[in-house]
């Protein structure tokens, strides 16, 4: 299972982690100096949820933006039989 939202297709994005030292000019320093740039990844907030897809209940990976947006049709709650 890849780290990808099965509804919108959101996946990891690349970016940079920038390490800096020094004091900012507006705080009275001589400015920030970059001491290192490292590649990094930004991952979407994926959750495993049960959803109804093509009439069947399946577990899918879905991002929280799609959950909040109502793009998920949740699986019905499992009924329990009580002895009376």
> For the segment 24-79, what is each residue's pLDDT rounded down to a tens digit?
999 999 999 999 999 999 999 999 999 998 989 999 999 999 999 999 888 888 77
Collapsed DSSP state (helix, strand, coil) of residue 71: coil
Look at residue 24 and tell me if it is in a domain. yes
- For the four alpha carbons of 55, 56, 61 and 64, in that order, the dihedral sign comes to positive
> Is there a domain that residue 18 lies in?
yes
Check residue 2 and give its pLDDT: 83
Torsion of CA 8, 59, 71, 10, to 10 degrees: -20
- Structural domain including 34 reads 13-68
Distance CA 81, CA 84 (A): 9
pTM given for the model:
0.70
Does any domain span residue 77?
Answer: no
Q: Which residues contact 66 (CB under 8 A, 6 or more apart)?
A: 5, 7, 8, 72
Domain total for the chain? Answer: 1
């Amino acid at each position: 299972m890849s780290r990808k939202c099965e509804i919108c297709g959101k996946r990891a994005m690349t970016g940079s982690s920038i390490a800096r030292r020094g004091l900012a000019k507006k705080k009275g320093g001589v400015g920030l100096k970059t001491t290192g740039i490292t590649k990094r990844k930004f991952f979407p907030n994926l959750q495993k949820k049960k959803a109804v897809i093509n009439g069947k209940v399946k577990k899918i990976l879905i991002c929280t933006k799609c959950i909040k947006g109502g793009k998920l049709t949740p699986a019905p709650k499992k009924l329990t039989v009580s002895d009376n």
